[in-house]
A and B are shown apart, each in its own frame.
Chain A
């Protein structure tokens, strides 16, 4: 089989198998650190504020938001697409890199997958609240009803969204969980605490790690990964069709599916970078998440950023080349020079220009700068969705219906609330689950380590 060794040493520090188990489980055994409580406190505060916004929306109605007849999609849809985009990295990491047999994924995939789950959960909230009458949410499920029976419109991208996102959440969770089973068994056998033995005993499903078990485990993981890979592409393609299937200028383009998928992977990788830098700093995982890992992510980001820049340029070019005056107006007047030029240029700067600094080795090696740049990417990708949703809707075909859009405090609070939900999810992941896939790291340890006792033999 094709197997490259270009990456060299993946895990530093001459680790043995015992060291790997001990190092990764240690944060779970230690006393809960102070920073954890502080972050959890702040995140809970954000979540509570979000719940206030949620309550406001449900009890009063969508009128609490800054939407109007023309701009009927505001922050809710922007944030929905933003979160779904972030949720793409986990699967992109684990699954594409699993299929491509990239061994460096092993230190990062667990955290990336956890991030996926919480991001998709945060994303899923928005369409649900956007219904307004959330208690009628079950109407979206095609069930046998007394209205005819009248079924859903299966040609509607909004229905495809429901199907795609629930499938994505389920598939990501299944893939994540199955990967954790051997690690739960490791904790079960190592721990001295009775409660932990019981809890992780339940979670490990009675894993024993015999030959046949491992064979089936590997096959199942590969099958689930292989099925989830096209799902990654299809989920964000479908999200893009929420826009592209309409005739609104700036949305009605064939470039949307690939453009959204690449954008999603871009924002997801940006968030992975942010989280991994935080995690390795707090848990002293520098031997596992090495500078080499971060370097690999930044290189990927540089490349994806170029694709993003190409997509932005293509959109502008096609607006001109199509000869369609509405497209021209949306792109050249409304986005590049009009009321929303700040959002547009923030998007260009953060997504297409700033990541190009990663070409310089000095910048890739400076983790502080890399961290700040990863935040810029997250912000830039948020503005991309803002540009797409708001500029196109605010000024479409009829000047008589033009309207501007300003978010209200309720919308902002819901967004902050989902940030709180996400951070709380990540924090509990840090606390209760092995943050690095122990058995997978062990699997790549020998062929890539500098360990003396292994090579001397």
Chain B
């Protein structure tokens, strides 16, 4: 496997977005973009989507159903005890269902986020450009094994032309 990459480093978000346009017009595949801030233009240009909202919705539905099932089972089936003449299966369950649905949704969305991102406390990472967490933006282009020297040169030319402050190759 050839994991060599070309990294174009930029110092401005708009310059970076223009550079991405230029690269995509020339049919060059952008592997990833590292940035200190979220950039919506990048998500659109890389056609990135996330299914996290669907997951949250499912957690919410499961949460609501299971909380209601628990309340119903404890209050109606397991130990039917009348409080103040109210029905056993009361409307006021909505309050607990409402809050605990949020509880389940929040907790599992949080966990799903870390699982999908493969993040955990103490994970060791080496950033291709450490300053991307501070003030730089980096475009990562993977050198495919079918890329010729001319192709690589073309990538370099475009990166340079579009205002990259530094271009480097790495393993």
Give chain A interface residues in 192-248, CB to chain B under 8 Å.
201-203, 205-220, 223-224, 227-228, 230-231, 234, 238
Point out the residues of chain A lying under 8 angstroms from B86, CB to CB. Answer: 155
9 A-B residue pairs with CB within 8 Å: A151-B74, A151-B75, A154-B92, A160-B95, A217-B113, A223-B56, A227-B106, A234-B95, A442-B37
Whether A206 touches B119, Cβ cut-off 8 Å, given contacts A18-B135, A160-B95, A218-B38, is: yes
Chain A residues with CB under 8 Å of chain B are: 16-18, 21, 142, 148-151, 153-155, 159-160, 163-164, 166-167, 170-171, 174, 178, 181-182, 185-186, 188-190, 201-203, 205-220, 223-224, 227-228, 230-231, 234, 238, 439, 442-443, 446, 454, 457
Q: Say whether B100 contacts A205, CB under 8 Å.
A: no
CA distance in complex: A21, B135 (Å): 8
Q: What string of 1s and 0s marks CB contacts (under 8 Å) between B97-134 and chain A?
A: 01110110111011001101111111111010011111
Residue B38 contacts which of A174, A214, A228, A446 (CB distance < 8 angstroms)?
A214
Point out the residues of chain B lying under 8 angstroms from A203, CB to CB. Answer: 121
Whether A224 touches B109, Cβ cut-off 8 Å, given contacts A142-B74, A154-B93, A189-B133, is: yes
Q: Say whether B43 contacts A171, CB under 8 Å.
A: no
Summed over the interface, the residue pairs from A and B with CB atoms below 8 Å come to a total of: 180
Q: Say whether A17 contacts B34, CB under 8 Å.
A: no
Q: Say whether A217 contacts B102, CB under 8 Å.
A: no
Residue A149 contacts which of B78, B120, B124 (CB distance < 8 angstroms)?
B78
Q: Which of B1-9, B45-53, B142-150, B154-162 contacts A (4 or more CB under 8 A)?
A: B45-53
Q: Which of chain B's residues has its CB closest to A142's CB?
A: B74
Whether A215 touches B83, Cβ cut-off 8 Å, given contacts A155-B92, A442-B37, is: no
Query: How many residues of chain B have a CB within 8 Å of chain A?
Result: 65
Q: Say whether A216 contacts B106, CB under 8 Å.
A: no
Main secondary structure of the interface of A (DSSP, over half): helix
Q: Which of chain A's residues has its CB closest to B70's CB?
A: A142
Give chain B interface residues in 14-46, CB to chain A under 8 Å.
14-15, 32-39, 42-43, 46
Q: Which of chain B's residues has its CB closest to A168's CB?
A: B99
Point out the residues of chain B lying under 8 angstroms from A189, CB to CB. Answer: 127, 130-131, 133-134
Q: Which of chain A's residues has its CB closest to B135's CB?
A: A17
Whether A167 touches B102, Cβ cut-off 8 Å, given contacts A206-B120, A219-B50, is: yes
CA distance in complex: A217, B102 (Å): 19
Known interface pairs A150-B79, A206-B119, A215-B43; 4 further A-B residue pairs with C-beta atoms within 8 A, sorted by A's residue number: A151-B79, A205-B120, A220-B109, A223-B56
CA distance in complex: A217, B42 (Å): 14
Residue A206 contacts which of B103, B113, B124, B132 (CB distance < 8 angstroms)?
B124
